[in-house]
Amino acid sequence: MKYHKVLLIFFISINVSFAQTPIEDQLGSWFTYVGTYRVSEKVSISNSVQSWHYEIADNFNFLLTNVALNYHISSKITTTVSYGFMDIDKGFEKSGTHTYENRLYEQIGYKHKLAKLPIDHRFRIEQRLLNKPSPTENVMHNRLRYRLGTKLKLNKTFFIRLNNEVLTTIKTKNNDGFTENRAYGALGINFLKHANVQVGYLNRKIKSLDLHRLQIGLFYKIDFRK
């Protein structure tokens, strides 16, 4: 399969509609850091930080920090358990009330090739413990996530990263169930042997909203076995 055909299919599949609300009018931003530290043949530790904004580098929306323990069953299969803390501001035009979240997740990742195209799958189960203010209300959400992605190498320096993720919140008597979709495409630059920067676009469809985000990410790996 030719890479340009993959790109064409991916971007045609993204339905970019005209904005209907002020929040959809704005191009927001996601800034991401992910570090992975290999400590043994089977074990690695990773951490990530994400900062979301309703506008580019302005109008704060969400801060995520987490740490994860990974067990590498094989070169193709990795299992993960993680804990994270989040600060969520739902106010768009002005600062709103904040919700604080403690999140646990369990995950399995699987990699393989389809013909010569590298494919990666990520299956995740999340337990989201939300502390909502005024009046104080503690709510637990259970969420299922599946991400399908690929990385297309252009040369030793540049690559293209594509993925699509579906997230489903399970309905309970305390919260509504809903599905979210995140489609992502980016140009990656390997500026060190084990580090890269990705600059791309993320389309987030959640409930009735169709959000557009500039995403900039730094991804770094250290192998302490060497």
Position 24 pLDDT exceeds 90: no
Position 6 pLDDT exceeds 60: no
pLDDT value of residue 19 = 43
- Local confidence band at 121 (pLDDT 50, 70, 90 cut-offs): very high
pLDDT value of residue 101 = 96
CATH number of the CATH domain containing 147? 2.40.160.40
pLDDT value of residue 220 = 97
Parent domain of 173 = 3-223
* Selection from 15-19, 112-116, 132-136 with the highest mean pLDDT: 112-116
Model pTM score: 0.88
pLDDT mean over 56-61: 92
**Residue with token string 């570090």:** 35
Hey, which residues does 160 pair with through a beta bridge?
152, 187
Within 10 Å of residue 226's Cβ, how many Cβ atoms?
Answer: 5
Return the percentage of the chain with pLDDT > 90, whole number: 72
- Local confidence band at 176 (pLDDT 50, 70, 90 cut-offs): confident
Higher pLDDT, 94 or 24: 24
User: What is the length of the chain?
Assistant: 226
Tally of domains in the chain: 1
DSSP character string of 127-163: EEEEEETTTTEEEEEEEEEEEEEEEEE-SSSEEEEEE
Position 18 pLDDT exceeds 80: no
pLDDT value of residue 14 = 47
pLDDT value of residue 167 = 97
Beta strand ranges found along 39-157 (DSSP E)? 43-55, 58-72, 77-89, 98-114, 117-132, 137-153
| Whole-number CA gyration radius for the chain | 18
